[in-house]
């Protein structure tokens, strides 16, 4: 039986590992390589690493850091940050990365998604949508450059366009829920889930395994990503890297499948 993926998401800022709240209030939580080593021991399903400085400041991807991460990782690695061209993507793949994540580059140029997917395969191209509620009417809008720049795009329409362009996976990241740890934005997730057929990963808001269970119960085979949940412990947010062990995951999945009658 296929199971949902539970995925830690690490944010790289100023060469270190940081965590944010609503894409602000950066808190240093350690060294990315040390975090990867710990996640190796915990046998995580997959790892997402996003360099949140690269696109915002127009930097090239940090290829040396990416290489170090890829060498250390014993799980599939998805890297995003600063990727704008096929040549950059190919170089990153050559370092041992399994997936690349595009955000602002996809917004600015749909063609880069098709170009990279045509070269390396759809399954290796992920589009990340950073989404925020705008205005009193509760409408959603995509933002880029670490949540600082409104893109003027509706996430539902954009998700459809990205699948058509060749994206093999869509990551839906709620800016409003980032680091809050009070649950995913299930309404946003539902809207995107209804219109795409490629794999989907959700990010932003998970504060417990029950939050992950809620989205799995609703949508089944889905990627559930989280940052704060896997790097903080307790109400004082002490830094402690964690991840559910095999028995905990099986209990979670069995409970969800039984409730769904699967």
* Active site members: 130
Element (H, E) at 30: strand 24-30
Q: Which residues contact 113 (CB under 8 A, 6 or more apart)?
A: 102, 106, 125, 127, 162, 165, 166, 167
Alpha-carbon distance of 201 to 45, in angstroms, equals 13
Cα distances (angstroms) measured from residue 92 to each of 52, 67, 118, 163, 251: 17, 8, 16, 22, 36
C-alpha–C-alpha distance, residues 97 and 249, integer Å: 25
DSSP 8-state assignment for residue 124: G
């Amino acid at each position: 039986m296929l199971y949902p993926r539970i995925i830690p998401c690490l944010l790289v800022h100023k060469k270190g590992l940081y965590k944010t709240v609503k894409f602000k209030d950066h808190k240093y939580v350690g060294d990315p390589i040390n975090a990867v080593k710990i996640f190796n021991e915990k046998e995580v399903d997959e790892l997402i690493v996003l360099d949140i400085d690269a696109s915002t400041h127009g930097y090239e991807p940090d290829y040396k850091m990416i290489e170090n991460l890829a060498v250390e990782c014993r799980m599939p690695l998805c890297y995003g940050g600063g990727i704008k061209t096929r040549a950059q993507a190919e170089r990153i793949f050559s370092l041992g990365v399994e997936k690349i994540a595009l955000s602002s580059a996809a917004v600015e140029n749909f063609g880069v998604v098709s170009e990279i997917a045509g070269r390396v395969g759809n399954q290796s191209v992920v589009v990340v949508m950073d989404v925020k509620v705008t205005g009193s009417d509760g409408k959603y809008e995509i933002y880029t450059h670490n949540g600082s720049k409104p893109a003027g795009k509706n996430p539902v329409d954009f998700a459809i366009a990205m699948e058509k362009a060749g994206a093999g996976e869509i990551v839906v990241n709620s800016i409003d829920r980032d680091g809050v740890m009070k649950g995913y934005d299930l309404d946003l997730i539902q809207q995107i889930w209804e219109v795409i057929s490629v794999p989907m990963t959700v990010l932003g808001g998970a504060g417990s395994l029950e939050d992950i269970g809620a989205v799995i119960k609703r949508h089944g085979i889905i990627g559930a990503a989280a940052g704060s949940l896997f790097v903080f412990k307790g109400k004082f947010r002490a830094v402690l890297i964690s991840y559910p062990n095999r028995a905990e995951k099986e209990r979670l999945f069995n409970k969800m499948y039984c409730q769904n009658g699967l």
